[in-house]
Amino acid sequence: MTFNKVLIANRGEIAVRIIRACRELGLKTVAVYSDADRRALHVRYASEAYHIGPPPSSESYLRMEKLIDVARKSGAEAIHPGYGFLAERAEFAQLCADEGITFIGPPPSAITRMGDKGMARKIMMDAGVPVVPGTPGDKKLGNDELIRAAEKIGFPLLVKASAGGGGKGMRTVRSSEELPAAIESARREAKSAFGDDNVYLERLVEGARHIEIQILADAEGNVIHLGERECSIQRRHQKLLEESPSPFVDDDEEFRQKMGAVGVLAARAVDYVNAGTIECLVDKDKNFYFLEMNTRLQVEHPVTELVTGIDIVTEQLRIARGRALGYTQNDVKLRGWAIECRVNAEDPYNNFMPSTGYLNKHAVPTGPGVRVDTGIDTGATISPYYDPMISKVIVWGETRAQAILRMRRALDEYKILGVLTNIPFHQNLLSQHRFMAGNFDTKFVEERFSMEEAEESRDTFPEIAAILATLAAHRQTERAAHIIQRGKRDTSNWKWVGRYERMHR
């Protein structure tokens, strides 16, 4: 199981993150890249790099046989899938195993059992892990059976696709009249998105928070949790800001350990190995329910790293090499507070419309307590082919208040030119009273937040902006006039070119 060279089957910030951990352990690294990523940092930081195809991920990062080929050619004995792409495809983990390559992640069986949400729900119920009340999920119930079951569950409820993810094949139903149509449309969407139209019902937990538990498990059967992450700040099921600990759990150590123990139980139920995350819904009375397990490294893993001091990617590599965990549950203590903001190339003033273009400046914030994970450098192009994340800004503070102030400071320093970003969204969010008070649920951004209202409560400098805009416009007019005058050189342009070429010979 030991290996000295790791292929990273991913791109962007997470590929860089994994390469960093490998290099710190003295492991050789192999990057792969599409035509769109030749200039990316992961290519430059790896010890080897191989081109795997055109920009669309279906022709590059998702091509299992190409990745296996590169592993063979380069002699990589292990593959880290990162997140997204092939990270949760049991088929890929199995293919690696068949080829004698170590897959840095859970065994294929654990991916399969947690990958089907309906099946996972059944396994969790049997293991004594609390799930949201509803139908079991492993049985293929017909419409009539679902409608009968709905009366017992009560409204409002959710229709969810067994094979689902990312909000696809999901419907909120407020009354029994809406149910038949909702089941039908959820089935249609699930069929087209996942090729499987099985759905189950779940009571809608109102005012719920999304809190998740980080798990580490080794091949010897040791399973520990690294506390929780608060991920309720999201929009269209995309997380935007995460923190650890959760302000809702805060210093309730008993509640933390209770959730953590259930997370460990859930991981054991599928014989989990490596790093994984148990996502939970938590209601206002601190009832919590298993939602799903992400059988991979998460985007937001750094907030846990900053408060526990544990390098999760290093632990993943250790576990994959067959070593025992470097920590016991008693070693895990949360210290201080960490917040992560996902910086995306999207326009928060225009319905978060994606923004693409050439980055002529990418100056990341630094200074005490600030970490920036990115795969993009000045001179890169944000293309429409991949997700819009430019970077993650992660800060640590003694207290939540200090972390918030530090994040505001860091975002003020951050300069990205060439594309529009959601940094103003984060800055507005971080100065909202409800956010500062930790008083929010998963609907907060969509239902109770607007850029306009958030800006009203902040200092404003319209005169300064007027001066700046006017001077910028004035200078541009002057430059334009200057360029027109260039034709008035005292010598011919041919002579000019000759002189220029002699000078640069």
Partner 1 sequence: MNQRYVTTIGEHQYAVELLKDNKVRVDGQVYSVDYEAMTGQQLVSLVVDGHSFDCHVYQDEDNWHVLMRGRLYTAEVVDEREMRLRAAAGEGHDDSGLFILKAPMPGLVVNVPVKPGDQVKKGDVLVILESMKMQNELKAPRDGLVTAVDVNAGDSVEQKQVMLSLE
Minimum CB separation of residue 416 from partner 1 in Å reads 8
Active site residue 400: no
**How many residues line the site for partner 1 (CB under 8 A)?**
45
Minimum CB distance to partner 1 smaller for 53 or for 424: 424
Which position among 24, 98, 398, 412 is part of the footprint of partner 1 (CB under 8 A)?
Answer: 412
Q: Choose which of 427, 432, 442, 449 interacts with partner 1 (CB under 8 A).
A: 427
- Does 450 interact with partner 1 (rule: CB under 8 A)? no
Q: How far is CA 89 from the centre of its chain?
A: 17
Query: What one-character-per-residue DSSP string does 264-321 give?
Result: HHHHHHTT--EEEEEEEEE-TTS-EEEEEEE-S--TTHHHHHHHH---HHHHHHHHHT
Per the CB < 8 A criterion, the answer to whether 435 and 426 are in contact is no
Nearest to 290 by CA among 154, 133, 88: 133
Q: Does the footprint of partner 1 cover residue 192 (CB under 8 A)?
A: no
CA 96 vs CA 80, 107, 276, 316: distances in Å: 11, 11, 19, 17
| Shortest Cβ 417–partner 1 spacing (Å) | 5
Asked if residue 349 binds partner 1 (CB under 8 A), the reply is yes
CA–CA separation, 171 vs 460, rounded Å?
41
Residue 459 binds partner 1, judged by CB under 8 A: yes
Task: Find the DSSP H helices in 25-175.
Answer: 41-45, 64-74, 90-98, 108-115, 117-127, 143-153
CA distance 400 to 245: 9
- For residues 12 and 386, is the Cβ–Cβ distance under 8 A? yes
Toward partner 1, which CB reaches closer, 248 or 414? 414
CB of 424 to partner 1, least distance (A): 6
Among the listed residues 467, 493, 496, 500, the single contact to partner 1 using CB under 8 A? 467
| 49 vs 395, beta carbon nearer partner 1 | 395
**Residues of span 58-97 touching partner 1 by CB under 8 A:** none
- Which tokens go with 7? 């292929």
Q: Show contacts with partner 1 in window 371-390 (CB under 8 A).
A: 384-388
From 424, 436, 438, 443, residue interacting with partner 1 (rule: CB under 8 A): 424
Q: Identify which of residues 69 and 446 has a Cβ nearer to partner 1 in the complex.
A: 446
Whether 277 and 215 have beta carbons less than 8 Å apart is answered as yes
**Active-site annotation holder among 11, 17, 121, 296:** 296
Spatial CB neighbours of 437, under 8 Å, sequence gap ≥ 6: none
- Contacting partner 1 (CB under 8 A), which of 176, 185, 470, 493? 470
The yes or no reply on residue 195 touching partner 1 (CB under 8 A) is no
Q: Using the minimum distance from each CB to partner 1, give the nearer residue, 261 or 465.
A: 465
Residues, the chain: 505
Cα(47)–Cα(249) distance, rounded to whole angstroms? Answer: 42
Stretch binding partner 1 (CB under 8 A), from 21-29, 91-99, 175-183, 345-353: 345-353
Q: Where does this chain touch partner 1 (CB under 8 A) — which range of 133-141, 352-360, 394-402, 484-492?
A: 352-360
Nearest-approach distance from CB 349 to partner 1, in angstroms:
6
Comparison of 271 and 455: residue with beta carbon closer to partner 1:
455
Residue 116 to residues 120, 230, 293: CA-CA distances in angstroms?
Answer: 6, 24, 10
In angstroms, what CA-CA distances link 227 with 216, 252, 346? 11, 12, 31
Q: Does 500 bind partner 1 (CB under 8 A)?
A: no
Binder of partner 1 out of 97, 181, 261, 469 (CB under 8 A): 469
Residues at the site binding partner 1, with contacts judged by CB under 8 A:
345, 349-351, 353-356, 360-361, 384-388, 408, 411-412, 415, 417, 423-424, 427-428, 455, 458-477
Which residues are annotated as catalytic?
A: 296
